Structure 1
Amino acid sequence: MKVSYQVVASVLVAAGLAGGLVALPRKAAAQNAPQGATTAQIPTGRQGRGGYPLPPLPADFETYQHKVRVSVVARGLDRPWSLMMMPNDDMLISMRFSNQIRLIHDGVLDPKPVSGLPEVRRLFDIVTHPKFAENKWVYFDYLKPGTEARSPLALARAVYENGQLKNVQELYVSDPVTQGASRMAFAPDGTIYITVSGAGGRIPNGPDPRKLDTVYGKVIRLREDGSIPPDNPFVGKAGARPEIFSLGHRDHFGLAPHPQTGQMFHVEMGPYGGDKINILKAGGDYGWPDYSYGRQNDSSPLPDPHNVPGIEQALLVWLPGITPSGLLFYTGDKFPAWKGNLMVGSVVTGRVNGSSGVERVVFNNKMWETRREMFLTELKQRIRDVRQGRDGLIYLLTEEVDGAVLKLEPAD
C-alpha cells in the first residue's frame, strides 16, 4: 500500500535516526505536561493541556474551499469525550471523567444528566443502533470496576427515551485491560467495531498488543447482541480471543465506515509523531509496540514498519502527530466541495498546546491522498469528536474544562 506522509511543522532538521527527519516544535517555549500529573496539576494555556478560552462566537473563518461560520450550540461541559447525533436532532454527549451522559434538546443543554446509566469506572463512547427509529437502542462502552491498573471493558445497550436509559443490558465484557479510552462504530453489515487502547505497549507479566490472548491493543468486532460473528478472523484459533478483528494498536480514537465501500477507517496515535489512518483488515497486525512511524516519548527511534512482512501499512501518516480523535466522512450538501472528504479532529499538533483544529483529507479513487487542510486552528480548542447532523452541517466537540459543542455552517 502507498503510504502518504504529512510533515506538519514548518522546520525540519536531518538527524541520524530511524525515520530520517525530526520535527522541531513550532513554539519552543511550550512545555510538555509533567508525566503522571493529574488534571489539577497540569498548567493551562500555552504551558499545559487546554485552558484556552473560546474566542467570541459566532465568527467566520476562511478555508481553502469554503468560508465557515462557527457558533456555539452548548458549552459548560467538563472535558467531554464523544458526541452522538440523534435522529430527532437531539445530541447525546458522553462525559469520560464525570461518567455521565448529557442531553442537548432543541439546542439547549439539559442541566440534568441522562438517568439510568449503571455504575461504571470510566464511560467512553456512545452510538445509536442503525435502526434506532425502530428499536430506540443506544450502545455505550465503559470500564467496569477492577484493580488500580486494569479493568475489563464492557459494552451495554439500553432503550433511550426522553432523557432516560431503560432496560440496560450488558452485552459483552473483556479480559482486564489498561485504562486507555475507546471508540465504537457500526459497520454496514450491522456489526459493531470497538477500539481497545494498547498505549502502554508490552507490559511485563501483563497484556501484549500483538498477542491474541487479550483484547488489549486490539479492535474487536461483535454482533449487535454482543455475540461473536462467525467470520471474525480468529474464530476457532487455539488460544485466541474470537472477538479480535485486528491487532498491534496503540491509542485509537476514531472509526468511520467508508460511505461507498463500507471499509472501516481508523485513526491511531503514535507515541511521538507517527499518527496514522488505517483501513482495517481482518486479522491485520499493525505493529505496535514493535514498529511505529513515530519515535518513543523520549525521542529514541522505533523500527519503521515499511516493508516489514506481516505488518499492515498505514494509509496516511502525520509527522509530527496531530493527536487524531473523531472521524467523519462528510456526505452532506451544505459544503459541496467537501463531499466525500474525511474529517479528523485534532487535539494537539506537534505537542504544541493550542495548535489543534480539524484536518480535512481528500482522497482520489485509488484512495491516495491528494490534499490535506488543517482549519479552525484559530479556535485553539482540543477537537475531540467530529459529527455530521441530519441538516448536513458539521458539529465539533471540544475537550476542554469549558467544553462545547460547536456548529459549522456555510458563510460563503
Structure 2
Amino acid sequence: MPRKLLIGRRRLLAASATAVLAAPAVARAQQVLRSTKAAYSLKMLTLDLEQPWGMAFLPDGRILITERPGRLRIFANGRLERAPVGGLPKVYARGQGGLLDVCLHPGFARNSLIYLTYAGEGDGGVATVLARAEFRNNALVGLQRIFDALPRTSGGLHFGSRIVFDKAGLLYVTCGERYQMQRAQNLADLGGKVVRLRDDGSVPSDNPFVGREGARPEIFTWGHRNPQGLAMHPGTGRIWLVEHGPRGGDELNLLKSGANYGWPLATHGIDYSGATISPNKSLPGMEDPVRVWVPSISPSGLAFYTGDRFPGWNGSLFTGALSDNALHRIELDGDRFVGEERLLVDVLPYIRDVRQGPDGLLYVVTHTDSGGLYRLEPA
C-alpha cells in the first residue's frame, strides 16, 4: 500500500472519531472564536454525511453536496434530505477515488445544468471524469460524460479534482497525475494538468496547445501534482489553484495560459521516504508558486470571500487544510501573497471544501465517515 494512502486512511479514521465526539459540542456551545479581523461562531448544520467532498449552492438556497462513495445529497430548510439525488453515474470509489466536485453552469437558472467530477472506469483503467446533466425534480437527467483525463491507469490516488467557470463561460478542471509524477511533464498526457473546455466539453480554439503536435489541446497549464482547490478571483477573473505537494511543498498558484508549474522537476517537497525528488525549487521557464507550505497542510477547496457579513475578510482567499486541522485565510495584494492566519485550529478535522453561500456566510464540509456541514457566522 502506498505510504500516502496508508497515512490518509489513518488520518481519516482518527478524524472520524474526533468529529463524532467534538462537533455536537461545538454546535451546542456556539463558542465565540476570533481572527485578527473578525469574531465568529461555528454552527453545525448536519453530521449525517459520509465523506463529503464538494458543494454548490442552488439559486433557491439549497446546497448540493457530493459524498465520495457516490451519492449527491441536498441540504434544504435546515436539514439533510434523506433521499440522495437520482440518476448519478457509477463511480470508482476506492482509495482517493469516488464522486468528487460539483458545480453549477453560470446559466443554471436558464438551462438547469450541473457538472460533476468523479473517478470513472473505462478501457485501460480509471481516470478523472467530467460529466454534465440537467437537474430536474431532485434527479439528474440526460447525463453526458464529456471529458476523461486520459490515459486511464490503475490505482486509486491523485484524481484532483475541482471545477470552476470563468467570466467568459469557459470551464476549468484540475487533473491529478495519479501518483505517477512523470505524467505531469508529458503534454501528450492529461494527468497533472488543468484543462480548459467549453461548457459542452469541446476545446476552445485559443487554448495554448491547440495545433501543437504531440500535445493535448485541452491543456491550459501543466506540471501539477494533485490540485484540489480552484477559484476565480471575482475582480480580475483570473484562476487560482492550490495543490498537494509530497512531504512538504504544497502550493498556491496563479494560473497562466500555457505555463509549466514544475512538478516533479522543481519542488519544495521531498519523497515520503525522505529521498530527494529534485534538487531544484525553481527552474527557468517554469512558474514559481505564489505561496509554498513546508511542512504540508494538504490544502483542499478554495474560495474568495466577497460578502459583507465579515467585512474584515473581504477579498480573502480561504482553503481547508486537511493535515493541519484548520481553515486558512490568505491575504493577497494583487498577485502577491501578503499574509495568512489559521482559523478553527483543532476545532474541526479534515476540512475538505469551503464555499461562500448566497447569504454571505462561509460553509465548510469535513471529510469523515460522519462528515459535517458547518457554517461560520458573525459573533
1:401 shift after superposition? 1.2
1:394 shift after superposition? 0.4
User: Is 1:407 equivalent to 2:378 in the alignment?
Assistant: no
Q: Secondary structure at the match of 1:219?
A: strand
Q: Secondary structure at the match of 2:26?
A: coil
Quickly say closer, same or farther: Cα 1:402–1:267, change in 2 above 3 A: same
Provide the rounded CA distance (Å) in 2 between the counterparts of 1:202 and 1:338: 36
Q: Give the alignment of 1:7-156 within 5 angstroms.
A: 37=6, 42=10, 48=14, 50-53=16-19, 54-55=22-23, 56-58=25-27, 59=30, 60-96=32-68, 98-121=69-92, 122-146=98-122, 150-156=125-131
Q: Secondary structure at the match of 1:51?
A: helix
Q: Give the alignment of 1:240-255 within 5 angstroms.
A: 240-255=215-230
Quickly say closer, same or farther: Cα 1:226–1:44, change in 2 above 3 A: closer
Paired letter, 1:138: I
Does the 8 Å CA contact 2:264/2:278 hold for their aligned counterparts? no
Structure number with bigger Rg: 1
Does the 8 Å CA contact 1:156/1:169 hold for their aligned counterparts? yes
TM-score of the two chains, using structure 2 as the length reference: 0.90
Quickly say closer, same or farther: Cα 1:259–1:359, change in 2 above 3 A: same
Quickly say closer, same or farther: Cα 1:146–1:49, change in 2 above 3 A: farther
The partner residue of 1:387 within 331, 348, 355 is 355
TM-score of the two chains, using structure 1 as the length reference: 0.83
The partner residue of 2:287 within 312, 337, 349 is 312
1:38 shift after superposition? 9.6
Quickly say closer, same or farther: Cα 1:36–1:260, change in 2 above 3 A: closer
Partner of 2:269: 294
**Residue ranges of structure 2 left out of the alignment (5+ in a row):** 93-97
Partner of 1:22: none
Quickly say closer, same or farther: Cα 1:163–1:277, change in 2 above 3 A: same
Q: Secondary structure at the match of 2:184?
A: coil
RMSD: 2.1
How many residue pairs end up in the alignment? 363
Provide the rounded CA distance (Å) in 2 between the counterparts of 1:136 and 1:266: 27
Provide the rounded CA distance (Å) in 2 between the counterparts of 1:391 and 1:43: 32
The partner residue of 2:136 within 138, 143, 161 is 161
The partner residue of 1:176 within 135, 146, 151 is 151
Q: Give the alignment of 1:150-229 within 5 angstroms.
A: 150-178=125-153, 179=156, 180-181=158-159, 182-202=161-181, 208-229=183-204
Partner of 2:256: 281
Quickly say closer, same or farther: Cα 1:202–1:320, change in 2 above 3 A: closer
Provide the rounded CA distance (Å) in 2 between the counterparts of 1:406 and 1:336: 20
1:289 shift after superposition? 1.6
Q: Secondary structure at the match of 2:150?
A: strand
Quickly say closer, same or farther: Cα 1:238–1:36, change in 2 above 3 A: same
Q: Secondary structure at the match of 2:286?
A: coil
Q: Give the alignment of 1:347-366 within 5 angstroms.
A: 347-349=322-324, 356-365=325-334
Paired letter, 1:324: P
Provide the rounded CA distance (Å) in 1 between the counterparts of 2:7 and 2:271: 22
Does the 8 Å CA contact 2:195/2:220 hold for their aligned counterparts? yes
Partner of 2:95: none
Provide the rounded CA distance (Å) in 2 between the counterparts of 1:36 and 1:261: 37
Provide the rounded CA distance (Å) in 2 between the counterparts of 1:226 and 1:163: 24
Paired letter, 2:176: S
Quickly say closer, same or farther: Cα 1:84–1:44, change in 2 above 3 A: closer
Quickly say closer, same or farther: Cα 1:292–1:44, change in 2 above 3 A: closer
Quickly say closer, same or farther: Cα 1:210–1:43, change in 2 above 3 A: closer
User: Is 1:368 equivalent to 2:336 in the alignment?
Assistant: yes
Does the 8 Å CA contact 2:130/2:147 hold for their aligned counterparts? yes
Paired letter, 1:273: G
Quickly say closer, same or farther: Cα 1:141–1:319, change in 2 above 3 A: same
Per-residue Cα deviation, 1:35-80 (whole angstroms, up to 9, x for no partner):
65498x73777xx455312341332212212111111112221111
Does the 8 Å CA contact 1:305/1:313 hold for their aligned counterparts? no
Does the 8 Å CA contact 1:44/1:52 hold for their aligned counterparts? no
1:172 shift after superposition? 2.3
Does the 8 Å CA contact 2:3/2:272 hold for their aligned counterparts? no
1:156 shift after superposition? 1.5
Does the 8 Å CA contact 2:266/2:282 hold for their aligned counterparts? no
